[in-house]
Amino acid sequence: MKEVDVLILGAGIYGLYSAMKLGELGKRITLLECDSAAFSRASYVNQARVHNGYHYPRSVSTASKSADYFQRFNEDFAFAINDKFKKVYALSSKFSYTNGEQFKKFCAYTGIPCREIDAGEYFNPGMIDAAFETEEFAFDAFKIRDYLLAQLKGMPNVEISYSSRIVKTEIEGEYYRLSLADGSEAKTPFVLNTTYASVNQVLELFGFDKFKIKYEICEIALCKPSKELSGLGLTVMDGPFFSVMPFGLDGTFSLTSVTFTPHVTSYSPLPTFKCQQVNTKCTPTNLDNCNNCKARPHTAWGFMSQLAKNYLRPDFSFTPTESLFAIKPILMASELDDSRPTVIREFSREPRFVSCLSGKINTVYDLNEVFG
């Protein structure tokens, strides 16, 4: 049986970052990942936005935290940051929960830059209440992944084990004794759960209370922008709107919409979806990767592009390339204010079990409190 100081679950950005930080402290670490590669799910399948807070005009706490980490993240991962585009946030004149005046006030309060510009430069007449040029960037998930993996490669005390799952857990004094699907066993005084959509599945396995979350199967539609659109990132908020912006560094854009990006919602404590009847490898206790799944939802490209078309000036067009899918857990407590807090909870002291749930890449630094 193998014994390690920390066993980390999930090779997304939170898992790899934890492994790097704890590895630097000299801990012996094993990182378990159920897919065959790192960054296969939500760390890759998202808007690739380095949040500076603009997204949360109704949750100043989420906004300030994002803004605090914005600079640090951009410096730490400078090689993966796309800051070569003009980021425009616009408030829809209809159905919005926030108007231009309120957004301006919110930015001033949070201390993030925003400069009002002429909405007519980008949007069709009558659609927009106010538009602002802001400072926000995009990241390239695979560049971050490769960097983190390269760091870990140089650490003999860190081992990543792909395609592996825990099937049984036992407590043995100050240790967890874990049986893996491949028949091997591991022993550790500290389990760090950095899975995302599987967070409750892991908690269930260890016998803890589950987070109150709902699950959404989300689609990120990738596309090629027209010449006029490239060099821009446009987000219309706060309500049933859309965002079209660079996805990483290679000129690809992502198109997402509040209404059409989430396809199916599950309100069960464990993610339960109809499509699991088709793909039986995916169960409420053991999620498969939506991206390679044959039963995944049909693309909503038609809806998202139509919505965007109604807002955008005609020369801002795009052609679809592919769609990515992932399951997103959303804390039920966040429904009202649309906040996206990072929740770090210690479920057990000895042996130690910590679970971390966060919806944003650049709040990864919240984890540092765990390593202390």
Partner 1 sequence: MKEKTFVSAVVYVYNAEKVIAGFLRELDTYLDSRYEIFEIILVNDYSVDETRQEIKMAAKDLKGTITVINLAWRHKKELAMLAGTDLAIGDFVFELESTRPDFSLNLLTDLYEKAVSGFDVVYAFPKDSTRFKSKLFYWLLNRLSHLNVDEHTETAKIVSRKALNRALLERGKVRYRKVLYKSGGFPTATLEYLPQRQSLGNDEMTLLQKLTLASDVFIVFSNIGTQVAMMFSAISLIVSVLIGVYAAYVYLSGQATISGWTTTMLFLSAGFAGIFLTLTIIAKYIGTILMEQRRGNLYTVEALDKISNK
Q: Which stretch binds partner 1 (CB under 8 A): 120-128, 134-142, 158-166, 344-352?
A: 120-128
Cβ 303 to partner 1, closest distance in Å? 6
The answer to whether residue 95 forms part of the interface with partner 1 (CB under 8 A) is yes
Any residues with CB less than 8 A from the CB of 284 and at least 6 apart, and which? 201, 268, 270, 271, 272, 276
Shortest distance in whole angstroms from residue 123 CB to partner 1: 12
Nearest to 191, CA basis, from 369, 349, 359, 363? 349
Which residues inside 174-233 make contact with partner 1, applying CB under 8 A? Answer: none
Shortest distance (Å) from residue 87 CB to partner 1: 24
Q: For partner 1, give the closer residue by CB, 119 or 141.
A: 119
Nearer to partner 1, 201 or 305 (CB): 305
Nearest distance from C-beta of residue 337 to partner 1, angstroms: 19
In the window 283-342, what residues touch partner 1 (CB under 8 A)? 302-303, 306-307, 310
Question: Does the footprint of partner 1 cover residue 368 (CB under 8 A)?
Answer: no
Residue with tokens 């690739």: 48
Residue 164 amino acid letter: S
Q: Return the H-helix or E-strand segment holding 76.
A: helix 60-76
Least Cβ distance, residue 302 to partner 1 (angstroms): 4
Residues within window 20-39 making contact with partner 1, judged by CB under 8 A: none
Nearest residue (CB) to partner 1, 310 versus 321: 310
Binding of partner 1 by 151 (CB under 8 A) = no
Answer for which of 94, 105, 115, 168 binds partner 1 (CB under 8 A) is 94
Q: What is the DSSP letter of 283?
A: B
How far is Cα 272 from Cα 276, in angstroms, rounded to an integer? 7
* Residue 291, burial from CB neighbour count under 10 angstroms (0-12, 13-18, 19+): middle
CB atoms within 10 A of CB 340: 23
Q: Which residues neighbour 142 within 8 Å (Cβ) at sequence distance 6 or greater?
A: 39, 44, 248
Question: Token pair of 331, please?
Answer: 């804390």
Q: Label residues 125-160 b or e (16+ Cβ within 10 Å = b).
A: eebbbbbbebbbbbbbbbbbbebbbebbeebebbbb
Size of the site for partner 1 (CB under 8 A): 13
With CB under 8 A as the contact rule, the residue among 1, 75, 78, 125 that binds partner 1 is: 125
Q: What is the 3-state secondary structure (H, E, C) of 21-65?
A: HHHHCCCCEEEECCCCCCCCCCCCCCCCEECCCCCCCCCHHHHHH
Write each residue from 254 to 273 as x if it is in contact with partner 1 (CB under 8 A), else as -, in one continuous string: -----xx-------------
Q: Which of 124, 151, 179, 291 binds partner 1 (CB under 8 A)?
A: 124
Torsional class of 337: left (φ above 0), alpha (ψ -120 to 50), beta (otherwise): alpha
- From the list 123-131, 189-197, 202-210, 225-233, the region that binds partner 1 by CB under 8 A is 123-131
Query: Which CB sits closer to partner 1, 106 or 260?
Result: 260
Mark the segment that binds partner 1 (CB under 8 A) among 49-57, 64-72, 124-132, 327-335: 124-132
Binding site for partner 1 (CB under 8 A): 94-95, 124-126, 240, 259-260, 302-303, 306-307, 310
